[in-house]
Amino acid sequence: MNQHPTTDQITSLIQEGEFFKLKELLKKFEPAEVVELIEEEEEREQLIIFRLLPLQLATQVFEYLEIDVQRHFLANLSQDKISDILNEMSPDDRTALLEFLPDDFVKELIQTLSEPERKVTLELLGYPEYSVGRLMTPDYIAIRESWTVQQVLDYIRLHGGQSETISLLYVTDRRGVLIDDISIREVLLADPSKQVSELMDRRFVHLQTMQDQEEAIEVFRKNDRVALPVVNDEGVLFGIVTIDDILDIREEEDTEDIQKLGGSQALDEPYLSIPLLGMVRKRAGWLVILLIGEMFTATAMGYFEEEIAKAVVLALFIPLIISAGGNAGSQATSLIIRAMSLGELSLGEWWRVMRRELATGLMLGGILGVVGLLRILLWSRLYPNEYGEYYWQIGFTVGFSLVGIVLWGSLCGSMLPLLLKRLGADPATSSAPFVATLVDVTGLVIYFSFALLFLSGTLL
Q: Provide mean pLDDT across the span 64-89.
A: 82
Q: Are 70 and 93 in contact (CB under 8 A)?
A: no
End-to-end CA separation in angstroms for the chain: 84
pLDDT at 1: 41
Dihedral class, residue 206 (left if φ above 0, else alpha if ψ from -120 to 50, else beta): beta
pLDDT at 432: 61
pLDDT at 189: 92
pLDDT digits (tens, 9 = 90+) for 88-102: 888 777 877 777 777
User: pLDDT over 90 for what percent of the chain?
Assistant: 18
pLDDT digits (tens, 9 = 90+) for 94-148: 877 777 777 667 767 777 777 677 667 767 777 787 888 888 887 889 999 999 9
Compute CA 95 distance to the chain's CA centroid, rounded to the nearest angstrom. Answer: 19
Q: Provide mean pLDDT across the span 158-170.
A: 84
Distance (Å, rounded) from C-alpha 240 to C-alpha 162?
13
- Burial grade of 146 (CB within 10 A; 0-12, 13-18, 19 or more): exposed
Spell out the residues 6+ positions from residue 212 whose beta carbon is closer than 8 angstroms to its own.
130, 131, 132
**In degrees, to the nearest 5, what angle opens at C-alpha 147 toward C-alphas 141 and 153?**
55
Q: Provide mean pLDDT across the span 164-190.
A: 90
Look at 267-271, 352-356, 359-363 and tell me which has the smallest mean pLDDT: 267-271
Distance (Å, rounded) from C-alpha 294 to C-alpha 248?
37
Look at 74-78, 237-241, 301-305 and tell me which has the smallest mean pLDDT: 301-305
* Best-predicted range by mean pLDDT (125-139, 199-213, 321-335): 199-213
Torsion sign, CA atoms 71, 75, 81, 86: positive
pLDDT digits (tens, 9 = 90+) for 14-35: 888 788 888 888 888 888 888 8
Question: Judging by DSSP bridges, how do beta strands 178-183 and 168-172 pair with one another?
Answer: antiparallel
